[in-house]
Structure 1
């Protein structure tokens, strides 16, 4: 009898473990987060999910058939309103607003049936814009999956899937190795996690390891710190994609935050970035290369605009919500938490495409 009981328990554990490894999740565990947001302890976070009202005009947004490369420095922003609507509606739906869940469902169905973005130009800038749109789209889809019937799920997934695979493209340049590629693989990994596609999911794991292996001993990323006045800007952007990948992996029980490649870990990259924010001269030797620096040509004048909420409502430090919510006690995390409490928390909700949407709603604690 004991042998039979032991066998049954072992079998259940094996099945449970296998299911945990392949269970479609996404950037975060949606149902677990829904439950958390319903608890009194998360009242302030739930309020942050609902703090931006649903705009009735979003239902009339005309699908954009394709994104285009821009002249000079910049990105096609024609899909900004769509991305903003998806991020706000997904946060509201996560907090239990059924009207927003319905609105998000209808928006995604409309754009899916129109095959939006399918005509995006095969140029790295246009693809970059597409990737920025895709990450919140994947997150939004994961949030409302439960309310979709089989046909609706098929329609939306059949639209997203080829777009995700489209951006897995090599342009034979530095964009195949820098923050552009990090964003790509965060999108592939997210969609792989949502759909159970282990091949796509593994691309994120592989990229994460590559980022660490390519970092300098001080934690700086060579292709980002050469960017003149925007050296720290792109270090921060890289950390955003790394955070998304680490959070996706965490849903399967994998700790990428603690991964160490040749002495380099997430904390080392984070620490270097925080050092640069505190003492910008730290990055000057690398920034002097002044490679595509953006609007400011003087590399001695670092662009720290990412520390403040943008006029369009986004906050490029939204990814910090995920890191500071983790029970991690390392020095880099403690320093980030201090920065968060001092300068970022008052800007909640922190929303950004690179983080997949309303990061306060997705990861924040009171």
Structure 2
């Protein structure tokens, strides 16, 4: 009987072309994943959930009322600490650590009571930081909610909901159409799936289609590839948000990965990034525009820092985990898997705000 259960879980977690077996409760099917992590076949994935120890000091992180615009999108230190605590505790909770579950619940409730982030400055850099902390918060809520009483659930929802809706803000200039917007819509779509709000869910669905429609035939995104030395950096960031939207859609039985707009689908955009990583000169025709390139003025020196784990424990390539778990054919997927084995897998667990937390815990096999 146990062997049959494990085989069933493996089949459900390796999603093929049907996309028809999950429940639509957020970024991933929480209960299916929880059940899988309890099985011996998932010992390695469960270890990834528990790889980062719980820090008792996290309970003392003071809620912050407002995020403010800063240079180079640097997030308030307390918000970074909060997001890291939430991401680590969510993974541990999913793996069945009850002490972490209580710690995560109490942390979120404390920040909800304090109305954290409610006074965030209405400015695109500040809102960018807000989106980054909210996506892990939404995922944490989806993992926690079965153990919450109605009052706790209402308190957290009443805190999170207006903050998420606040990010549906269009600012002047390209930030209303570039990766900032993609991140916002990945957040709106995820929260919409969690609370069954079809209007929010549709925001992300529509944005996904728009991104494909706006891409060049070679898969490049015009507003990202013009960013000089950070052209590939922002292509990767856009793919992270596309992946989140596709995974949320998959829990509702919809395959976004094979969705097309003209010649472009997810794999075409992915292939462009992989081509650029292998040979950065690929991007030079666009990157030479050098629009807000960051600290490096020479567009020929593409910033590939996203390929390594950061000193704060995050990994900007965490979005590849769900793709590693999917049974997808195609050259782009094969190339990504080869890159993963060669350059990324050893950095597990892969944790990042842009994919909602501990991606190895959520999807890793």
Q: Give TM class, smaller chain.
A: over 0.9
Equivalent residues of 2:306, 2:317 under 8 A apart: yes
Which whole-Å CA distance do the structure 1 matches of 2:117 and 2:21 have between them?
32
Residue 133 (1) aligns with residue 133 (2): yes
Q: Tell me if structure 2 keeps the 8 A contact 1:108–1:156.
A: yes
Tell me the residue number matched to 2:109.
109
TM-score scaled by length of structure 1: 0.93
- What is aligned with 2:254? 254
TM-score by length of 2: 0.93
| Bigger Rg, which one | 1
**Tell me, what secondary structure is at the counterpart of 1:202?**
helix
Contact 2:22/2:253, CA 8 A, preserved across alignment: no
Contact between 1:54 and 1:100, CA under 8 Å: does it hold in 2?
yes
Partner of 2:172: 172
1:109-142 CA distances to partner (integer Å, 9 max, x unpaired)? 0000000000100000000000000000000010
1:346 shift after superposition: 0.5
1:118 equivalent in alignment to 2:131: no
User: Where does residue 234 of structure 1 map in the other structure?
Assistant: 234
Q: Structure 1 regions of 5+ residues with no counterpart?
A: 1-19
Distance 1:21 1:45, change over 3 A: closer
2:3 paired residue number:
none
Other-structure match for 1:73: 72
Question: RMSD between aligned alpha carbons?
Answer: 1.2
**Cα distance in 2, alignment partners of residues 189 and 320 from structure 1:** 19
Match of 1:92 in 2: 92
Deviation at 1:35, TM superposition (A): 0.9
Instruction: Determine whether 1:342 maps to 2:357.
Output: no
Q: Distance in 1 between matches of 2:104 and 2:306?
A: 28
Please report how far the alpha carbon of residue 76 of structure 1 lies from its aligned counterpart in structure 2 after TM superposition: 2.5
CA shift at 1:329, angstroms? Answer: 1.3
8 Å contact from structure 1 (residues 23, 196) kept in 2: no
2: CA distance, partners of 1:264 / 1:297: 30
Q: List, as ranges, runs of 4+ consecutive aligned residues in structure 1 with deviation greater than 6 Å.
A: none
User: How many Å apart are 1:283 and its aligned residue?
Assistant: 0.1
| Unaligned stretches of 5+ residues in structure 2 | 1-19
**Paired residue for 1:187?**
187
CA distance in 2, matches of 1:82, 1:283: 36
Q: CA deviation at 1:21?
A: 11
